[in-house]
Amino acid sequence: MSAHTRSDIPAARRVVVKVGSSSISGDNASRIESLVEALATAHGRGTEVVLVSSGAIATGMPFLSLDERPSDLATQQAAAAVGQNVLVYRYQQALRSFHIVAGQVLLTAGDLENPTHRSNARRAMERLLGLRILPIVNENDTVATHEIRFGDNDRLAALVATLIGADALVLLSDIECLYTRPPDEPGAVPIPHVAYGDDLHGFEFGSVVVNSVGTGGAATKVSAARLAAAAGTGVLVTSADLVHHALAGSEIGTWFAPNPEPSAPPATGPVRTAAGTLGG
Report d(CA 43, CA 235) in Å as an integer: 19
Ligand-binding site membership of 174 (annotated) = yes
CA distances to 126, 170, 187 from 101, rounded to whole Å, are 15, 21, 46
Hey, is 135 helix, strand or coil? strand
Ramachandran quadrant class, 4 (left: phi over 0; alpha: psi -120 to 50; beta: rest):
alpha
Within 8 A by CB and 6+ apart from 113, the residues are 269, 270, 277, 279, 280
Give me the phi and psi of 153, to 5 degrees please. -80, -10
Ligand-binding site membership of 7 (annotated) = no
Within 8 A by CB and 6+ apart from 4, the residues are 234, 257, 258
Ligand-binding site membership of 54 (annotated) = yes
Ligand-binding site membership of 263 (annotated) = no
Question: Which residues contribute to the annotated binding site for substrate?
Answer: 54, 141, 153
Question: Which residues contribute to the annotated binding site?
Answer: 18, 54, 141, 153, 173-174
Question: Which residues contribute to the annotated binding site for ATP?
Answer: 18, 173-174
